[in-house]
Structure 1
């Protein structure tokens, strides 16, 4: 009877699916990590920590697919610590308590714990505070991973106890090294022409894991000859650019666009404008920000810049996408090539600061209206000179509060239309000095 039940149908071992290429190629030592030499080299922050045997809690900040999880795991191996991984997305307070209790037990048995927290920015401020006592008493060495700016997403107490390590997106040379490593593992070259190979690396957009996933797709195809760029594009959908319209990338790219316009570089400005549109940015947001650039950075050096932006905005509203985006692009070009001046912007800020400082000082009485007899008796309007009756249409009277030293807020530069405004400022200053001196 025993033979009858020794082996039944369905008892055969199920063949395991092959491990994904990204898993097979996961580095087994820090020296194998691609693209992060600036932190892992002996003179880099992590290299120096390991050399001094003084690894501290860390926040690994960088885009997806650059090795945050791998580096954390290898740091645990290098320091002979127990590696524990959790995700802030799926972990709540009860699970965290269990993690800390297990780490305390290991510590009593002489074993340290490296706790890797993926997406650590997903924890709220109170949850982040929960890590502090366990970091301070040595129960855990925390390594957090985030794609978001830690200074915005993590509280100050946590940041004061952890060093932020910035990891960089992989450049094309890094991705090529990774592709060669994949070819060695697969035992064959990618069925791509040189141009198509370049296109594949570009599609990865600095993400090593994404590249390996793309390579798996490519090598699964049965092709008679290497594919060119066009054939590759037909078979592979281009990856959407990593762009979070409410996150760091949004603010990084609008900053790049603004500074390219300010720096009078139309090509760079168009590139960042295009990047934001490709990422799905609302063109109306771009129209608003472009108009703000005209006010802040061109100002009165070219008064037409603001009008040009408003017209482009109106054209977008009438035409919609994609036709209306061309009007916005032309506004970007116009602003980049316009003469630049922030004199009006600086004058406005200085005037606001002076208004805050001087409080509630009254205007001088001679420029106040006197609609009642009592106000006339108080001297309201007395001595006011009507400028149209004065020589040159300019009386030169004082319009600041009595006793306030006359400030200069607006100082136009010798650029664009403000050359003419500068002449007018100087002309009226000379007349004022003449009138007040006489």
Structure 2
């Protein structure tokens, strides 16, 4: 039964094998890209040079060489390579894999167990690997497209080094295209600009590029195709975007920080990236409104109103017309003066409220609807501000045992510059009139 997981299948005729399989590297030096992991001074290069390869988690997007690197590590370390997928493997199957590895270990042969989509195993299943990793029965190499710190349990992560693989650059993909042309024995029937477009369609995924090249190389054309003709023949791949996963949070973070950094172009780009990935515009409308409150604040009091208007416009127009109103709000926020003074003041006020517990307001600002309350001093000495000079009494409104704090500190930007003038005036008057 163990052979089921060893992927030992007879060699197919070369002409029937997919191009991606025919071009699979036979040694680590042939892997395109990932120098940050495979270079002489990089983690894997150093491990192999020292003969100290340990269990690994390869984290990266699809089509960047995770499976290939795992297979080549087994070859380089003289380990028996076994590949399974967490999607199709159950507990009973894992037991058979571990038992076969034990038998090999008794015969002096180590096992590199490659687990594709390892994040699909639940936490209890992940724990099942630990004893076999610890006693050396297997050297685990897991592959995942999801953030291991979210998807893998701490015990497994403590026993494996996480290596981050990156999407292939356009230069990497061009090298791969040239290698494909050499294998095919002919150049792709594309103009230079169409070739660049093809590489862009792969979106950093080497396997996707080779699949596209197989399609293009089969076409019978009289002259190299231009971008328009290529676009008509090939559908652009959907952008990699998981609306509930890490990419969702990465992109909304990029959008928010671009707005905060007053970069309208970057903010519009990340806004568009999320829409192209299928994000719900209502989610974006809510987050854009939050940005107005958190990062623009009272430096531009119109920002929040404009965001709410854009949100309402989207609800009335729907997609795609309503998305333009949201884009308008994004640009406005990016270019608006910024202040988080209210955000900081609100957090400080909440902390102060927790720390001071149930302290009573000063009695002079309490109502006294009953005689007993009047006898207790409720409302005694209250100064009605409208009757005071300049409409300001300067009385204390904090609990009597609290030293007056400074929670709100307006910045010298936008409308808050005017608010700061008002605040400074009140501080001066309060000091003159004996308020705390």
TM-score (norm 1): 0.95
Deviation of the 1:398 alpha carbon: 1.2
> Hey, what's the Cα distance between the residues in 2 that align with 1:50 and 1:405?
64
Structure 1 partner of 2:333:
335
Matched position secondary structure for 1:143: strand
Matched position secondary structure for 1:436: coil
Deviation of the 1:371 alpha carbon: 1.4
Q: Aligned residues, how many?
A: 425
> Hey, what's the Cα distance between the residues in 2 that align with 1:286 and 1:297?
16
Q: Which runs of 5+ in 2 are unaligned?
A: 1-11
Structure 2 partner of 1:5:
none
Q: Could you say if the C-alpha distance between residues 53 and 15 of structure 1 is closer, same or farther in structure 2, counting changes exceeding 3 Å?
A: closer
Matched position secondary structure for 1:183: helix
- Deviates further, 265-274 or 400-409: 400-409
Summarize deviations over 1:292-338 as a string: whole Å, max 9, x none.
Answer: 11111101000101111111111111111111111111111101100
Matched position secondary structure for 2:433: helix
Deviation of the 1:231 alpha carbon: 0.4
Structure 2 partner of 1:191:
189
Deviation of the 1:425 alpha carbon: 1.0
Q: Runs of at least 4 residues of structure 1 off by over 2 A? A: 14-17
> Hey, what's the Cα distance between the residues in 1 that align with 2:272 and 2:307?
17
Structure 2 partner of 1:269:
267
Structure 2 partner of 1:234:
232
Instruction: Select which of 319, 322, 331 maps to 1:321.
Output: 319
Summarize deviations over 1:125-152 as a string: whole Å, max 9, x none.
Answer: 1111111111111111111111011111
Structure 1 partner of 2:403:
405
Summarize deviations over 1:324-381 as a string: whole Å, max 9, x none.
Answer: 1111111111011000111111111111111111111111111111112222222221
> Hey, what's the Cα distance between the residues in 1 that align with 2:388 and 2:147?
60
Instruction: Select which of 355, 368, 371 maps to 1:370.
Output: 368
> Hey, what's the Cα distance between the residues in 1 that align with 2:137 and 2:435?
78
Q: Could you say if the C-alpha distance between residues 36 and 211 of structure 1 is closer, same or farther in structure 2, counting changes exceeding 3 Å?
A: same
> Hey, what's the Cα distance between the residues in 1 that align with 2:352 and 2:167?
46
Structure 1 partner of 2:4:
none
Instruction: Select which of 95, 99, 119 maps to 1:121.
Output: 119
Q: Is the 8 A contact 2:14 2:22 kept in 1?
A: no
Matched position secondary structure for 1:114: strand
Q: Could you say if the C-alpha distance between residues 253 and 70 of structure 1 is closer, same or farther in structure 2, counting changes exceeding 3 Å?
A: same
Structure 1 partner of 2:204:
206
Q: Is the 8 A contact 2:396 2:435 kept in 1?
A: no
Deviation of the 1:436 alpha carbon: 1.2
> Hey, what's the Cα distance between the residues in 1 that align with 2:353 and 2:103?
63
Matched position secondary structure for 1:115: strand
> Hey, what's the Cα distance between the residues in 1 that align with 2:14 and 2:177?
25
Deviation of the 1:48 alpha carbon: 1.1
Matched position secondary structure for 1:426: helix
> Hey, what's the Cα distance between the residues in 2 that align with 1:169 and 1:16?
28
Structure 1 partner of 2:87:
89
> Hey, what's the Cα distance between the residues in 2 that align with 1:405 and 1:71?
64
Q: Which runs of 5+ in 1 are unaligned?
A: 1-13
